[in-house]
Amino acid sequence: MAEMISNQLDLSPSAMKVLEKRYLKKDEEGRTVEGPVDLFRRVARAVASVELNYGKSDAEISGLEERFYSLMTSLKFLPNSPTLMNAGRRLGQLSACFVLPVDDSMESIFDAVKNAALIHKSGGGTGFSFSNLRPKGDIVGSTKGVSSGPISFMTVFDSATEAIKQGGTRRGANMGILRVDHPDILDFISAKDNNLKLNNFNLSVALTDVFMKAIEKDEEYDLINPHTKKSVRRLKARSVFNLIVNHAWKNGEPGVIFMDRINQCNPTPAAGQIESTNPCGEQPLLPYESCNLGSINLSMFVNAPVDGRQGSARAASELIDWDSLRETVRHSVHFLDNVIDINKYPLRKIEEATKANRKIGLGVMGWADMLIQLGIPYNSVEASKLASEVMKFIQAESKKQSAFLAVERGVFPNFEESIYTDDMAVRNATTTTIAPTGTLSIIAGCSSGIEPLFAVSFVRNVLEGTKMYEVNPYFEKIAKERGFWSKELIEEIADKGSLKDIDKVPEDVRKTFITAHDISPLDHVRMQAAFQKHVDNAVSKTVNFPHNACPKDVEDVYFLAYGLGCKGLTVYRDGSREEQVLSTGQTAKQEPVREIKAPSLKITPKERPEVIKGTTRLMKTGCGNLYVTINEDADGNLFELFTQMGKAGGCASSQAEAIGRLVSLAFRSNIEPVEIEKQLRGISCHSPAWAAGGKIASCSDAISKAVERYIERGNKSNGNGSNPKKEKAIFCGACPDCGGAVEHEGGCAVCRDCGFTKCS
């Protein structure tokens, strides 16, 4: 097996770890049965096979397979995760983005729940607009009952998503959108005041031009009942906007989407109005549409020595390999158009809607790396100019390739209902999108999307609790060549998180290697807007704020984004979600939380009753079968844990027994089981095992999985009023899988250690 997953493509250790955990094919016992070369060959062969439909010869198909294979293995382009996971395999579902309609009937609502479950099971994420649902308290004509409103039904979608595990490779993720003129908009804005609610949703308010003008004029605007189409009340636009701003400042949600602007750019207005986007907001879609995304690694197209010294946009343009970029764009568009044909869609309606418009979304990653190679600070005017130039080129070349495919294969079926003319005959209604690249950028070894660097150096947790410092390779090269490299410097950078106040690093290098939190929020927006000018769909990007930012700062970036032509915005204030507190709805009146030092208390474990009940689970480990018995008290709280190795005696058996005693002590001291499970999860030893549930890294890991399955089966806690399953869905500063650092990117969160991602 070691030979099978050998690093034949010179991928980084992080890339290999992510591929093995989330992408490479596994057998029924969870063992990896393909390597990276096999994966890329599988995908290339499957996508090239579409050419049979267009009368290509075996030789032509073989040649195209080699081009697609080279495109991916060179790391110049990677398709979205479902394509890498599923192309050439039985599931065959290759799309990441879906939008489902939710109309104002019980049948439509629960059809959408069922269809979302099928999509999540196949590895996709879903977007919904709940704006068509009548408001809470409205009379339902058929029964004369009272409507519970969109927020209530959203919890049904959230629960269904929670139940879908997607084979352990991708989680279910949803976008929930409500128009700002819906009567329940105030409840929607505050829906996540309780941080145990709607954790499988990103929320966004659809802002209208009417609303934005009402803010500007300090006027009221109408709330419209979607069932009757009549105004039910009026609200002060500024007050509603302030509520949105304050909640986004508090915990990053809701985001905002400028829906009228999205529909002004709708390429097929006669086919319908756009009401929703995919989970991260970058892909507006019509009902039942899906979209196939891919990203070009811009770091691969620079012909320049990296020395950290400042450059200009004009000089930089001359150092970009435009010919290679053009070729990559054209092959990538061809690849993504083929994906539409080979895709196995989860629903017939999705296949019909997708093929009617044939939308693809080619984006970029490695943008920060390109700027570093060119010596251009991310927050400079030169960087914004170059962003516009690069994306304009990609947009133009993608349209040329789409037009070429239209001549060869025909225009998309809804062409006559589109904004295109006969002089602009294209194969695809859209060709460009900038999506979060999450795990793809880890595989490619580059920076994420169009985001700045997350960190120049950070600590990665490796085996046996050992810490390893990971350093940006461009910084390492420059530091060694210019003579300021040292182990102490790297530790200092990792500790501080940036180069901002480190005088040992030359000023020009500090400016070039600027990180996300060193950049002003307004400069984040300007970069997003520079790319948006030349993108068909939208741009996924996180606007980062320091912890001490105030709500007025958030307000300023919203207005700037609207003024510069962005289609939506996601903000994240550092540390806001980690410190979010439970609310009873009195958010506006909530006093600042003050730290109160409690007196030192001695915790006395509960005494064991004479009779106790529980279950024993067999867990396979590399040391043999491990039997884990978990018992609970009369109130249903987890009380104790015993272990027994299949082969008695030995070090492994004694360690398992010791862990069992300590876990039992924690249970009896009212420690929440989910916290115990998190501490034991992922601990590795030299002899892992594979079972139906995946890899068992050690006896400790086996015990954690046994605890996890027990509490999931019975929704068990230790009486502190928390829900273990929901708590695992809250993402803060640490990865729930491995404990590594979580990077907020494009409305999503991704762990740079193991590739865990919050969203599909």
Tell me if residue 612 falls in helix, strand or coil.
coil
Residue 145's Cβ-count burial label (10 Å; 0-12, 13-18, 19+) is: exposed
Q: Please state, in angstroms and as integers, the Cα–Cα distance from residue 314 to each residue in 254, 382, 556, 639, following that order.
A: 39, 8, 31, 68
Please tell me the distance from the alpha carbon of residue 699 to that of residue 697, in angstroms, as a whole number.
7
Which tokens go with 701?
A: 């890991």
Q: Active-site residue among 34, 80, 174, 280?
A: 280
Structure tokens at 2: 């070691």
Q: What is the 3 state secondary structure string of 70-117?
A: HHHHCCCEEECHHHHHHCCCCCCCCCCEEECCCCCCHHHHHHHHHHHH
* Phi/psi at 232 (5° precision): -110, -20
Please answer whether residues 668 and 632 qualify as being in contact, where contact means their C-beta atoms are separated by less than 8 angstroms. no
**Is 282 assigned a catalytic role?**
yes
DSSP notation for 397-457: HHHHHHHHHHHHH---GGGGGSS--GGG--S-S--B-B---HHHHHHHTS--TT--BS-SE
Between CA 437 and CA 583 the distance in angstroms is: 33
Report the alpha-carbon distance of residue 73 to residue 41 in Å, rounded: 9
- Of the residues 86, 251, 278, 428, only one is catalytic, namely 278
Q: Is 548 a catalytic residue?
A: no
Catalytic status, residue 280: yes
CB 236 within 8 A of CB 186: no
User: Beta-strand (E) ranges in 654-703?
Assistant: 689-691, 694-696
Radius of gyration of the chain (CA): 26
Phi, psi of 257 (to 5 degrees): -130, 130
For residue 391, give Cα distances in angstroms to 284, 364, 478, 506: 19, 9, 28, 31
Give bridge partners of residue 640 from the DSSP assignment: 631
Residue 80 neighbours by CB distance under 10 Å: 27
Q: How far apart are CA 583 and CA 563, in angstroms?
A: 34
- Measure the CA–CA gap between 341 and 270, rounded to whole angstroms: 24
The two structure tokens encoding residue 160: 């269904």
Give dist(CA 185, CA 42) in Å, integer: 47
The residue annotated as part of the active site, out of 51, 253, 282, 672, is 282
At position 275, the amino acid (one-letter code) is E
Catalytic positions: 278, 280, 282
